[in-house]
């Protein structure tokens, strides 16, 4: 049997005790519990204190309840889909073959380890590098990182197309749930907007003492303030992520441009606004507003402005040496990218012995 690398052993020695990890995981749910308590109270304050005890007109009460529950249902749907969607991780195709893994673990020289990784990476659709130009390898998960994949220290796993780890959902936001996260922000904004727009009339009446002081006064005044505060903060975050979708960037890539073999390029994955949106929301508009998975691709390989690699070609590469992206198992998140890409200029170049088609695509 071979011994794991020194850095892996160091990580194992520094690993927290089971009791400490259990406490940490429990504490991670505190922000989620807080959000659910606020949402639960807002539901009670709106439905009971406003609609039942304060609004006297039945037509107004019913119309408010219908609009409110539609916004509430979509918000909760998107929110819980974001929370409970398991982050997608790299397939075993990105792990080192047994022989190369043994060589890598025995080798102590970093430059020799890189040569081993480069040899394996030639058979994978991997075109991004570290800032120093090295193959991106995770010593904890022991996989070559696919493009746009990063290791999350909180989830303790590599996450495909990782955007960030969100404490408010206690989950990593990445390829498997980024659409849900954006919809969660959109419907949370809508939920707060509905509350503000319908409560403001009675907020003013209570504030100016046009209505008698009742037990509903505190709930309605506080409900408006909380909804307005959350609306301002959530809309700003939603605007930022819609900008990221239009640019086809993750939060990580917005702060640190991805590095390709020819250097960093912040627009390396941008294919034009329409194609960028389709990559997250899908190519069928009827699914855009629903928290159902419709993103294009498989999360392991991406079409870029510099390297054109279609979905079938990527799968063909991953199936070399008897490997497949999902190791023979069905992957519900794999959808073919049928988008047509216009090739303005193409040429062939060698990348470490591998011939790849380089395609420059214009922004529509």
Query: How far apart (Å, rounded) are the C-alpha atoms in residues 207 and 203?
Result: 6
Q: What angle do CA 313, 317, 282 make, to 5 degrees?
A: 45
Which 3 state secondary structure label does DSSP give 172? strand
Higher pLDDT, 262 or 30: 30
DSSP H or E run through 67: helix 58-84
Question: In this structure, what token pair is assigned to residue 46?
Answer: 């709106």
Q: Which pLDDT value is given to residue 262? A: 85
Q: Which pLDDT value is given to residue 347? A: 34
Q: Among 73, 66, 74, which Cα is nearest to 47's? A: 66
Q: Which pLDDT value is given to residue 308? A: 52
If asked whether residues 82 and 178 sit together in one domain, one would say: yes
Q: Among 162, 167, 331, 189, which Cα is nearest to 250's? A: 162
Q: Which pLDDT value is given to residue 312? A: 57
Rounded to the nearest integer, the mean pLDDT of the chain is 84
If asked whether residues 267 and 213 sit together in one domain, one would say: yes
If asked whether residues 97 and 80 sit together in one domain, one would say: no
In a domain, 348, yes or no: no
Question: In this structure, what token pair is assigned to residue 80?
Answer: 């819980």
State yes or no: pLDDT of 8 exceeds 50: no
If asked whether residues 60 and 181 sit together in one domain, one would say: yes
For the segment 265-292, what is each residue's pLDDT rounded down to a tens digit?
Answer: 999 999 999 999 999 999 999 999 999 9
Q: What is the mean pLDDT of residues 326-337?
A: 37
Q: Among 178, 158, 91, 260, which Cα is nearest to 270's? A: 260
Query: How far apart (Å, rounded) are the C-alpha atoms in residues 176 and 153?
Result: 18
In angstroms, the Cα distances linking 56 to 53, 157, 209 are 8, 54, 17
In a domain, 240, yes or no: yes
Q: Which pLDDT value is given to residue 340? A: 34
Percent of the chain at pLDDT exceeding 90: 71
Question: In this structure, what token pair is assigned to residue 12?
Answer: 């194992």
Which residues face 138 on adjacent strands?
Answer: 143
158 among known catalytic residues: no
Higher pLDDT, 214 or 176: 176
In a domain, 12, yes or no: no
CA 201, 203, 206, 207 torsion: positive or negative? negative
Which 3 state secondary structure label does DSSP give 158? strand
Contact between residue 93 and residue 113 where contact means Cβ atoms under 8 Å apart: no
Question: In this structure, what token pair is assigned to residue 120?
Answer: 């394996």
Can you give the pTM of this predicted structure? 0.81
If asked whether residues 97 and 207 sit together in one domain, one would say: no
* Identity of the highest mean pLDDT range in 117-131, 171-185, 195-209, 296-310: 171-185
If asked whether residues 79 and 177 sit together in one domain, one would say: yes
If asked whether residues 200 and 236 sit together in one domain, one would say: yes
In a domain, 163, yes or no: no
Domain count, the chain: 2
The single residue listed with the structure tokens 């927290």 is 16
If asked whether residues 78 and 192 sit together in one domain, one would say: yes
State yes or no: pLDDT of 220 exceeds 80: yes
Contact between residue 150 and residue 22 where contact means Cβ atoms under 8 Å apart: no
Q: What is the mean pLDDT of residues 52-57?
A: 92
Q: Which pLDDT value is given to residue 212? A: 83
Q: Which pLDDT value is given to residue 24? A: 87
List of residues 6+ apart from 301 with CB closer than 8 A? 125, 146, 147, 309, 311, 314
Q: Which pLDDT value is given to residue 363? A: 39
Which residues span the domain enclosing 141?
A: 92-145
State yes or no: pLDDT of 242 exceeds 70: yes
Confidence of residue 16 (pLDDT cuts 50, 70, 90): low
In a domain, 97, yes or no: yes
In a domain, 300, yes or no: no
State yes or no: pLDDT of 316 exceeds 70: no
Percent of the chain at pLDDT exceeding 70: 79
Query: How far apart (Å, rounded) are the C-alpha atoms in residues 289 and 272?
Result: 21
In a domain, 159, yes or no: no
If asked whether residues 79 and 117 sit together in one domain, one would say: no
Which 3 state secondary structure label does DSSP give 331? coil
| Final residue before a domain boundary, out of 227, 261, 281 | 281
Query: How far apart (Å, rounded) are the C-alpha atoms in residues 324 and 37?
Result: 44
In a domain, 345, yes or no: no
In angstroms, the Cα distances linking 348 to 92, 279, 355, 360 are 29, 26, 7, 12
If asked whether residues 133 and 211 sit together in one domain, one would say: no
Query: How far apart (Å, rounded) are the C-alpha atoms in residues 105 and 48?
Result: 63
For the segment 146-168, what is each residue's pLDDT rounded down to a tens digit?
Answer: 999 999 999 999 999 999 999 99
| Final residue before a domain boundary, out of 145, 162, 188 | 145
Q: What is the mean pLDDT of residues 206-220?
A: 88
Q: Which pLDDT value is given to residue 230? A: 97
Confidence of residue 313 (pLDDT cuts 50, 70, 90): low
If asked whether residues 69 and 175 sit together in one domain, one would say: yes
149, 158, 166, 172: the active-site residue: 166
Q: What is the mean pLDDT of residues 214-227?
A: 93
For the segment 90-142, what is each residue's pLDDT rounded down to a tens digit?
Answer: 999 999 999 999 999 999 999 999 999 999 999 999 999 999 999 999 999 99
| Final residue before a domain boundary, out of 130, 145, 160 | 145
Which residues face 165 on adjacent strands?
Answer: 172
If asked whether residues 116 and 222 sit together in one domain, one would say: no
């Amino acid at each position: 049997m071979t011994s794991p690398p020194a850095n892996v052993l160091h990580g194992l020695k520094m690993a927290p005790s089971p009791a400490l990890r259990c406490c940490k995981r429990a504490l991670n749910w505190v922000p989620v519990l807080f959000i659910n308590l606020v949402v639960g109270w807002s539901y009670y304050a709106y439905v009971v204190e406003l609609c039942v005890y304060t609004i006297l007109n039945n037509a107004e009460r019913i119309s408010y309840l219908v609009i409110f529950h539609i916004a509430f249902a979509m918000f909760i749907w998107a929110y819980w889909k974001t929370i409970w969607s398991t982050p997608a991780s790299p397939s075993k195709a990105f792990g080192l073959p047994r022989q190369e893994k043994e060589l890598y673990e025995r080798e102590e020289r970093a430059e020799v380890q890189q040569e081993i990784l480069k040899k394996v990476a030639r058979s994978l659709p991997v075109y991004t590098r570290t800032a120093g130009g090295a193959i991106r390898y995770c010593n904890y998960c022991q996989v070559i990182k696919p493009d746009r994949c990063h290791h999350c220290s909180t989830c303790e796993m590599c996450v495909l197309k990782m955007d960030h780890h969100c404490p408010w959902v206690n989950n990593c936001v990445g390829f498997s749930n980024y659409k849900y996260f954006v919809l969660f922000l959109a419907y949370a904004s809508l939920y707060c907007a509905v509350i503000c727009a319908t409560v403001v009339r009675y907020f003013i009446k209570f504030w100016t003492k046009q209505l008698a002081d009742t037990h509903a006064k505190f709930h309605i005044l506080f409900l408006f303030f909380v909804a307005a505060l959350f609306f301002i903060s959530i809309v700003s975050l939603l605007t930022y992520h819609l900008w990221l979708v239009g640019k086809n960037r993750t939060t990580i890539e917005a702060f640190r441009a991805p590095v390709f073999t020819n250097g960093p390029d912040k627009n390396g994955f941008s294919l034009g606004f329409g194609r960028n949106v389709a990559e997250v929301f899908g190519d069928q508009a009827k699914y855009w507003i629903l928290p159902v998975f419709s993103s294009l691709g498989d999360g392991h390989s991406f079409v870029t402005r510099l390297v054109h690699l279609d979905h079938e070609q990527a799968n063909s590469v991953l199936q070399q040496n008897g490997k497949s992206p999902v190791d023979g198992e069905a992957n519900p998140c794999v959808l073919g990218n049928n988008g047509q890409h216009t090739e303005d200029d193409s040429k062939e170049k060698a990348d470490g012995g591998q011939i790849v088609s380089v395609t420059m695509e214009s922004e529509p």
